[in-house]
Amino acid sequence: MSDDGLEAFDSLSAGKRIDDDANYQWRVAARPVANVVPSDFRWTVTDIPEPRDGEVLLKTHYLGLAPVMRFYMQGTGAAGERALEPGDVIHGRGVAQIVKSRHPDWQEGEMVQGQLGWQTYKVSAMTAQEKFFKMPKNGLPAALGSGVLGMTGLSAHAGLFGCGDPVQGDRMLLSGAAGGVGSMVSQMAAHVVGCEVVGMAGGAEKCAFIRDHGCSQAIDYKSEDIEESLDALMPGGIDLYFDNVGGETLAACLDRLRMHSRIVLCGSISEYMREQPFGLVNYTRLRATESRMQGFFVYNHLHKWERVMDDLAGWIDDGRLQPVQDIEDGFQNMPRALANLYYGRNVGIQCCSVRGEPEHWN
Amino acid sequence: MSDDGLEAFDSLSAGKRIDDDANYQWRVAARPVANVVPSDFRWTVTDIPEPRDGEVLLKTHYLGLAPVMRFYMQGTGAAGERALEPGDVIHGRGVAQIVKSRHPDWQEGEMVQGQLGWQTYKVSAMTAQEKFFKMPKNGLPAALGSGVLGMTGLSAHAGLFGCGDPVQGDRMLLSGAAGGVGSMVSQMAAHVVGCEVVGMAGGAEKCAFIRDHGCSQAIDYKSEDIEESLDALMPGGIDLYFDNVGGETLAACLDRLRMHSRIVLCGSISEYMREQPFGLVNYTRLRATESRMQGFFVYNHLHKWERVMDDLAGWIDDGRLQPVQDIEDGFQNMPRALANLYYGRNVGIQCCSVRGEPEHWN
């Protein structure tokens, strides 16, 4: 994909800035057809809302970006959130500080993460649907709450441990290894469990990156023949495949399973960019090898939140998990940061610094 | 499919009979293109072979038939057996009596089951590859060793219990419910575990049959719209799908999964009859429901043999498992019995009585 599409976002950001005197928002202007384009977004400025009894006022510091956001905008309501209509503020989880509270359970000054939407302030009754959690006071940067210590971290942990049942020595294949979930899964699999991880990423730069983040071998899917590379790097086959892309890569993996292999279906970004959905013919290969293909969805794992965050923070502390977030600076650049995901440019978790670290939160 | 193809087998059987004075065999004459036709088979008569040291002479009583046999004949070597060449005796497991033994572990007079091939006598060194087991002396008919108390029974048990993890109250869908594996799975799921089983079969007669064998509801896939019937009979969705057919039925099931559902991939006879393989698009539905699709292959479960046979014989004794074998009489009719499987005519396990029950075996 060329860069042209991404450069078109420069004029969308140009001249926009935020301040503390108003609520700045990005809304759906039109439903994206394929990848998002600048005209899909609308910038609005409103008054900062006032919380009523049982509500709080949240001030946004960081917002995370995820491929699923395009589905929200397309109105397909994927992944546990309400489908958006043109005119709606775009969904987005992130880190905020409570600047006013009329809610007994949430105190002024507390840092939280949850569903904020693409806006610089939000009034919320902190409903279950918004999935707010208090940020742990562990001295780590607040930015991590929009990714590594947020829903992306929970995804990576739930997918790898809750679904993949990794064992030391497993020969693991990981697609989307340079992405948000991928860059965490590779490090946890290699450094926490002791798997031998072969990662897939697009381009020499990303392949170098994933070799520094848990992958002992890298396959550049843009320049290599995936089947040939798998045969060369994993001649004995695959014990565990963590699938972030679906499609032909999944099919290639099904043809190379070892006995009792596990396939974790996490994402299928290749499907998002495809006009005709991919039909998986060789799913029957699960039979001869007694293998399983299992899906998971992060919102079904919320009950593990505290334990998972403790795990992740501990591994960051002891150096086994290096947090990788690709931070776009400035709320005005949110649309470009989202488009960036589909161009396969970002490394690690894509997020946006709306107004940087808060002065006090720990 | 019309009957014409099946009637063509009458002239193949005509005038053929077996006796104890020779070894009668069915061999591959030509590789089947789609379904088997009479000209794919060749009848040969040879001398009864003589066992050498370490070998036994086996006299065949029953042979089981399975859809996979066509793959053997086509030379694709599916399902753990060597691919056949034209001229080879066709693979087939069944029940035999040892009539001469020069092997220390196998005694004259013992009844065994294992890989006999389509022939009335066999000399064997009883290798691991042939997977011979002694028939249990439980007073049950020897014929059951070619099906219910044979590899079909092990398949049904390993698939349901080893792979499906059924729980009392599970809403279970079972395709191929009138078939060999299916008619056992339905009864074990309903009467041993306490699942609510909806079965699928072709035609009113088979649907009546499966309602008498564990299924509380039946879907006639030949006359009903599968998706409509599933919505009507299983409005809350599916906890467990035991898949004997693959294709569109599997896809319909994936769209109707409950949380933490399990799909057991046992067979895909619909694939055997299809010119273009079916591409499964909605495998991604495993994600939102945290479901898994798992395959198994019976030869990986041989270590469970004795325990499984004890289970099955016990359930036959207490009436929870009614053995259903569709016995074709006469070795000369083996080709027709195999073709019958693809015409969807048989109910229960298809087998052939080569020379009936032995006089003494228990």
* Cα dihedral B49/B55/B56/B57 (nearest 10): -10
In chain B, which residues have their Cβ closer than 8 Å to the Cβ of A286?
265, 293-295
Q: Angle B233-B236-B242 (CA atoms, 0-180°, nearest 5)?
A: 70
Q: Which amino acid is at A194?
A: G
What whole-number distance in Å separates Cα of residue A310 and Cα of residue A149?
A: 9
Complex ipTM value = 0.86
Give, in order, the Cα–Cα distances in Å from B170 to each of B164, B175, B196, B232: 11, 16, 6, 17
> In the CATH scheme, what is the homologous superfamily, with its name and number, of domain A151-299?
NAD(P)-binding Rossmann-like Domain (3.40.50.720)
B177-221 pLDDT tens trace: 999 999 999 999 999 999 999 999 999 999 999 999 999 999 999
- Residue B146 has φ and ψ, to the nearest 5°, of -90, 10
pTM over 0.95: no
Burial B143-175 (b: 16+ CB within 10 A, else e): bbbbbbbbbbbbbbbbbbbbbbebeeebbbbbb
Would the CB atoms of A259 and B300 count as touching at under 8 Å?
A: yes
A278-320 pLDDT tens trace: 889 999 899 989 999 999 999 999 999 999 999 999 999 999 9
* Cα dihedral A15/A16/A20/A26 (nearest 10): 170
In chain B, domain spans: 4-149+323-353, 155-299
Q: Angle A248-A251-A253 (CA atoms, 0-180°, nearest 5)?
A: 115
Would the CB atoms of B294 and A296 count as touching at under 8 Å?
A: no
Q: How many Å lie between the alpha carbon of A46 and the closest alpha carbon of chain B? A: 36
What whole-number distance in Å separates Cα of residue A79 and Cα of residue B305?
A: 44
Question: Which residues does chain B have with pLDDT short of 50?
Answer: 1-2
According to the model, what pLDDT value does residue B277 have?
Answer: 80
What CATH class has B155-299? alpha beta
Helix or strand or coil: residue B97? strand
B322-341 pLDDT tens trace: 999 989 899 999 999 999 88
Element (H, E) at A173: strand A171-174
- The fold for domain A4-135+323-353 equals Quinone Oxidoreductase; Chain A, domain 1 (3.90.180)
Among the listed residues B237, B245, B238, B239, the one whose alpha carbon sits nearest the alpha carbon of residue B221: B245
What whole-number distance in Å separates Cα of residue A100 and Cα of residue A109?
A: 8
Residue of chain B minimizing CA distance to A78: B288
* A19 alpha-carbon distance from chain centroid: 27
What whole-number distance in Å separates Cα of residue B248 and Cα of residue B268?
A: 11
How large a percentage of chain B has pLDDT more than 70? 95
According to the model, what pLDDT value does residue B1 have?
Answer: 44
Query: Any idea which architecture B4-149+323-353 has in CATH?
Result: Alpha-Beta Complex (3.90)
Residue of chain A minimizing CA distance to B79: A288
Among the listed residues B72, B90, B69, the one whose alpha carbon sits nearest the alpha carbon of residue B82: B72
* B56 or A246, greater pLDDT: B56
Among the listed residues B269, B270, B267, B243, the one whose alpha carbon sits nearest the alpha carbon of residue B254: B243
CB count within 10 Å of CB B33 equals: 9
Q: How many Å lie between the alpha carbon of A359 and the closest alpha carbon of chain B? A: 39
Burial class (CB in 10 A: 0-12, 13-18, 19+), A248: middle
A80-90 pLDDT tens trace: 788 899 999 99
Chains A, B: CB contacts under 8 A, how many? Answer: 87
Q: How many Å lie between the alpha carbon of B55 and the closest alpha carbon of chain A? A: 31
Residue of chain B minimizing CA distance to A268: B284
A62-99 pLDDT tens trace: 999 988 898 899 987 666 788 899 999 999 999 999 99
Among the listed residues B260, B250, B244, the one whose alpha carbon sits nearest the alpha carbon of residue B210: B244
The DSSP letter of residue B104 is: T
Closest in A279, A290, A297 to B296, CB measured: A290
According to the model, what pLDDT value does residue A1 have?
Answer: 44
